[in-house]
Amino acid sequence: MKNVIFLKFLLCLSVSVSQAQIIIKGTRTPSVSTNRPGIIVPGPDGGVIAVQQPQIIELLDGDTLKGTFVDYDSETGAKWRHSAAKDDIEFLADSLSKIQLFPRLQQLDSAQKTKIDLVTGQVLSGEVLELNDKHLILNAWYSRNSLRIPRDNIMAIRPASEETSLIYEGPTGMEKWKTKSGKTGNVLQDRVVPQQLFKGGVPFPVRPRNPGIVGGGIGLSGWKYNDKAFHGSSSGSLIGQKFDLGESVNLEFNLGWQGNFNLGIGLFADQLDAYSGNSYMVGISSSSCYLTRMVDSVQNNLGQQSFQDLRGKSKARISVRINKSDSSMAVIINDRVIKQWEDNAGFAGKGENLMFVLLQNSNLKVSNIRVTRWDGKLPSASNDDEKEDKDILTTSNSTNLSGKLLGVREGKVIFKASFAPTPLEITMDTVTKIQLAGAKLEKPKLGLGDVRVTFIDGGQFTFLLEKWGADRVLGLSSVLGRLEFQPSAFSELEFNLTKKEGEGMGDGFEDFE
C-alpha cells in the first residue's frame, strides 16, 4: 500500500514538472464521512499509518460483502459501495440482515457514560440532567436533542462512577480470553479420573485419549463469542482469562441452557487447564453442584449438594464466591445460597486464572459476566426490600441502600433511605447503580421496519429507521418519539427483526429475565 501511494505521488510530480500527458483518473468521493474505512496517512511529522477495517453487509440469505455503507432509506433500501463495482450497489430493505460498521472509538467524558437500562432490555447512555417522578432527561452525545425517557420505562440507572470492587464486566468479545493453554490436555498417566472422586455421580471433562488433545476440539467447536455472550457446545471445551483476583472474588453470570448441562467454573487456577495445576473447580448441573480442590494436579472432592431450583427452567443467575483468608466458598443461584464450603486443608489456588469448562456435550450460553471483590456477605434468606417494593441504591464501595429515589438534580441523587429521617444527597460519581422498584423486563414488541442498533459503548436500542445519511440518522421510537442520531454512534445495525423472530433465527436461548 505504501508503494501504491508513493507511485501516485511520483506520477503527479511528473505531470507538474515535465508536462507529460499522463492523466490520473480521480476516485469518487464517498458521501459518507463518519464511518468510512480507508487509510489514514500520517503528516510530515511522522506517525503510524492506521488502516480501518472494511464494513460488512450481511443479507438474510447469508451472503456477505465488504465495502462502505453509503446510506439507507426505508422505502428504497441500502446503498453500498464496493471498490470492484462501477456504481453503488442498492439492496432492498427486506433483504438485509446486518451491517457491521467498525467505527473509530469516541473519547467521551465520564458524565456521558451513564447507562440507562430500559424494561425492554435496551440500554441508552448519556449524561443524566434530571430525573423526576415522570421523566428522565438524558443529554446524549449522539443525539441532536435531549432524550426524554418515561420513568416507567426505566429499570436501572448505572452511573459511570469508578466501582472500586469491579474487576471485569463483559464479555464484549474474545479479546484476552484464551481457549487453550500450552499445557491443555497434558494428562499425567497416574491421574485420578474425576468420576471416581464422586463415585460416577458427577460428570467431569473426559480424559483425552491422546496426549495434547482435549475432547471437544477446544477453540474449534468449543466456546464462541456472539452478541455479548459466550456459547459452548462440546465436552472439554475451555475458555479462560487471567485477572487480578486479589484475596476474594465474586463471579456472577447469566447462564442459559438447552436440555441437560454440566459446567465447570475454575477459580484461582495457576494454569488454564481443567486437569493440571493448583485451583478450585465448581461444577454446576441442573440438579446439583460440587467443589473439587486441585493441588499439584491431584483432585479431591470437597462435597456435593443437590437442589431443585432449576427444575423446568432454562436460565439462571449464577454466583460463585471464594475468600482466600478463610478458604471459604459458596454457590448462589438466583440469589439463594445453595452450598457453602470451607477448605480445612488450606487454600489450594495458586494463580489468578478464571475459566469456564464444558463437562459434557450441551448447548450453553454465558453472558453478563461480572467479576468483583467479595465483601464476604451472602444473600439473606428473604429479600425484605423486594417485598416492600423499594428502590435499591448501590455505592462505589458496594454499600446497598434501600428506600425511595426522589430524583436527580445537578449531578446529585436525592434518595430517601429507610434508615434516614431526611432525604440524602449523594453525588452521581459515588453511585454505581440504582435499581428501580417494581421494574421487570418485558419482551419488546417489534414492528415492520424496526432496526436494532448497537452503540459503540455496547448499549442497544430498537427503533423504526427511516433514513441513514452521511451526518444524521432519522427514526421513530415508541419510547422516545422522533429521533435524530449521529451515524458515528453505532457499531452495528440489525434489520428485519420480525422476520428473524418469526423464522426462529435467534440463538435458541430464552432472554434472561
For residue 103, what pLDDT band results from cuts at 50, 70 and 90? confident
Q: Cβ(241)–Cβ(358) under 8 Å?
A: no
CA distance 431 to 422: 19
Which of 49-53, 62-66, 96-100 has the least mean pLDDT? 49-53
CA distance 461 to 125: 10
CA distance 357 to 166: 23
Which of 126-140, 169-183, 309-323, 460-474 has the least mean pLDDT? 169-183
DSSP states along 373-424:
---S----SS-HHHHTT-EEEEETTS-EEEEEEEEEETTEEEEEETT-SS-E
For residue 440, what pLDDT band results from cuts at 50, 70 and 90? confident
CA distance 70 to 466: 15
SS3 194: helix
- Between residues 318 and 37, the one the model is more confident about: 318
The pLDDT score that the predictor gives to residue 51 is: 58
The pLDDT score that the predictor gives to residue 53 is: 81
CA distance 349 to 281: 10
Which of 163-167, 331-335, 391-395 has the least mean pLDDT? 163-167
pLDDT digits 0-9 by tens, 286-329: 999 999 999 999 989 999 999 999 988 999 999 999 999 999 99
The pLDDT score that the predictor gives to residue 282 is: 95
pLDDT digits 0-9 by tens, 57-91: 999 999 999 999 999 999 999 999 999 999 999 99
CA distance 19 to 183: 66
The phi and psi torsions of 12 (rounded to 5 degrees) equal: -65, -40
The pLDDT score that the predictor gives to residue 379 is: 76
List domains and CATH numbers for the chain: 27-104+444-513 (no CATH), 110-165+379-435 (no CATH), 167-372 (2.60.120.560)
CA distance 347 to 331: 17
CA distance 395 to 337: 23
pTM value?
0.66
For residue 207, what pLDDT band results from cuts at 50, 70 and 90? very low
Percent of the chain with pLDDT over 90: 54
The predicted model gives 486-513 an average pLDDT of: 76
Q: Is the confidence at residue 192, as pLDDT, over 70?
A: no
Cα dihedral sign, 409-411-413-414: negative
How are the residues of the chain apportioned to helix, strand and coil, as percentages rounded to the nearest 5? Answer: 10, 45, 50
Instruction: Tell me whether the omega of the peptide bond preceding residue 171 falls within 30 degrees of 0, making it cis.
Output: yes
109 Cβ contact partners less than 8 Å away, ≥ 6 residues apart: none
**Max mean pLDDT range (32-36, 311-315, 348-352, 499-503):** 348-352
Q: Is the confidence at residue 200, as pLDDT, over 60?
A: no
- How far from 200 is each of 124, 203, 204, 234, 360, CA to CA, in Å? 48, 7, 9, 20, 14
Pick from 224, 226, 222: nearest CA to 235: 222
- Between residues 338 and 204, the one the model is more confident about: 338
How many CB atoms within 10 Å of residue 308?
8
Q: Cβ(205)–Cβ(276) under 8 Å?
A: no
The amino acid that residue 346 corresponds to is G
CA distance 326 to 98: 50
- Between residues 173 and 151, the one the model is more confident about: 151
Bridge partners, residue 319, by sequence: 252, 332
The predicted model gives 439-465 an average pLDDT of: 89
Q: Is the confidence at residue 20, as pLDDT, over 60?
A: no
The predicted model gives 21-48 an average pLDDT of: 41
The pLDDT score that the predictor gives to residue 268 is: 95
- How far from 413 is each of 128, 149, 385, CA to CA, in Å? 10, 17, 19
Category of 9 on φ-ψ map: left (φ > 0), alpha (ψ -120 to 50) or beta = alpha
The pLDDT score that the predictor gives to residue 166 is: 81
For residue 242, what pLDDT band results from cuts at 50, 70 and 90? very high
Percent of the chain with pLDDT over 70: 77
The predicted model gives 404-426 an average pLDDT of: 93
Read off the C-alpha cell for 506.
435467534
Read off the C-alpha cell for 245.
483476583
Average pLDDT across the chain, whole number? 80
The predicted model gives 454-458 an average pLDDT of: 85
- Burial of residue 53, with CB atoms counted within 10 A of its CB: 0-12 exposed, 13-18 middle, 19 or more buried: exposed
Range 82-86, long-range pairs (CB < 8 A, 24+ positions): none
